[in-house]
Amino acid sequence: MSSNSIPKVDLTGLRSSLPGGDRWEAAREVVAAALHSHGCFEAVFPSPSTDLREEMFGSAAPELFSLPLESKLRSISDDAYHGYFGQIPHLSFESLIINGVDSPIAVQDFTRLMWPPEGNSTFCNNVTAFAEPLRELVEMVQRMIFQSLGVDQKQQDSFASSITHSLRLAEYGVPLNQDTKIALDAHLDPHLLSVICQHKIGGLEIQAMDDGNWIVVPPAPASVTVIAGQSLQAWSNMRVRAPTHRVRMLGKEKRFSVNYSIRPSRNSIVKSPAELGEDDDRPLLYKPFNYTEFVEFIYSEKGMGMSPKDAFNSYCRLEN
């Protein structure tokens, strides 16, 4: 059945440290079903608060992107494509990533790099406060996925110990191509999970798995959007499916978004646990792969010459 909205789940008041009870179990079932049918869902989740969202989108993000390009270019990372990203000829798009955002030191180091030498304590406090509930949300969703797939606690620990948390801030100008209004090309996220926070100016569109229609995801003041990435699709042996998504902006206003995501840490191996692969009646669909090498491949000349789905399949899909 086609629909013009993504599934919606109320996670208000639930906590990853209390993973049980009727409300938790009901929400978990909806989350698991949504991640399979659509690869995404709208999480009703009132944090970050309205005030914090105002602060982030009205002040912190604009202040960061108004820095001179030479300052933003100082943000580089050992991991390909995890530093400053921008200056793409056909797009009016820039993004910066704070890697390891779950550590206050990493946030402080990022602001010292952008605003040397002393940093920017207001920006630091806003980002740390903004990231905290999103980390909680990601951990809750991660826990629900493990529970619903029946993956044992040991696997849960090894999955969690090799994860990098990051917060990406993006700025979108009025799309250069006013015929398509594309502000960010259709893509799949290579990592595990993203939580996207939009504010007032929408643009996020997610492609439905069944009929390929684009579903517009409007910003909502007490919601965020959870999107699965290809590493989670491979790890879960396709119980969770990663959706294609893009940004299209119809108006003439600048847009900012926040993307809190988790990815396998540098050089960690993405591998389905036995419960979801060999021991199951479903054959193993993806061979284990090195996450860092996978990202390098999708941005290589060869990978860029394929559709995002073909690049993923040619990299790690098994012939069965």
Ligand X SMILES: O=C(O)CCC(=O)C(=O)O
State which residue has the least CB distance to ligand X. Answer: 257
Binding part of the chain for ligand X, among 10-18, 120-128, 148-156, 196-204 by CB under 6 A, reads: 196-204
Dihedral over alpha carbons 176, 299, 57, 110 (to 10 degrees): -130
Q: For residue 30, which of 44, 17, 16, 18 has the smallest C-alpha distance?
A: 44
Judged by CB under 5 A, the stretch of 11-19, 29-37, 183-191, 211-219 that binds Fe ion is 183-191
Q: 3-class DSSP state for residue 150?
A: coil
DSSP 16-62: TTS--SHHHHHHHHHHHHHHHHTSEEEEE---S-HHHHHHIIIIIHH
Question: According to CB under 5 A, which one of 139, 171, 189, 205 is a site residue for Fe ion?
Answer: 189
188 near ligand X (CB under 6 A):
no
Shortest separation between residue 9's beta carbon and ligand X, angstroms: 19
- Identify whether the C-beta of residue 235 lies closer than 8 Å to the C-beta of residue 270: yes
Q: Per-residue string for binding with ligand X, 143-182, x by CB under 6 A?
A: -------------------------x-x------------
Question: Residue 118 has which token pair?
Answer: 């002393």
Which of 241/245 has CB closer to ligand X?
245
Site string for ligand X, 240-279 (x = CB under 6 A): -----x-x---------x-x--------------------
Residue 27 or 247 having the CB closest to ligand X: 247
Q: Name the segment binding Fe ion (CB under 5 A); options: 79-87, 137-145, 181-189, 286-294.
A: 181-189
Rounded Cα distance, 237 and 279, in Å: 12
Residue 107's binding partner among ligand X, Fe ion, none (Cβ under 5 to 8 angstroms by kind) is none
List Cβ neighbours of 9 (8 Å cut-off, separation of 6 or more).
27, 30, 31, 34, 41, 42, 43, 44
Q: How far is the C-alpha of 70 from the C-alpha of 252, rounded, in Å?
A: 27
CB of 14 to Fe ion, least distance (A): 25
CA atoms of 64 and 45, how far apart (whole Å): 26
Contact set for Fe ion, span 34-93 (CB under 5 A): none
Work out whether 96 is an interface residue with ligand X (CB under 6 A).
Answer: no
Q: Which span (1-9, 14-22, 133-141, 186-194) binds Fe ion, by CB under 5 A?
A: 186-194
Check binding of 205 to Fe ion (CB under 5 A). no
**Running DSSP on this structure, what letter comes out for residue 127?**
H
What residues pair up with 40 in beta bridges, in sequence order? 227
Which two three-digit tokens encode residue 163?
């994860």
- For ligand X, the binding residues (CB under 6 A) are 168, 170, 184, 189, 196, 198, 203-204, 245, 247, 257, 259
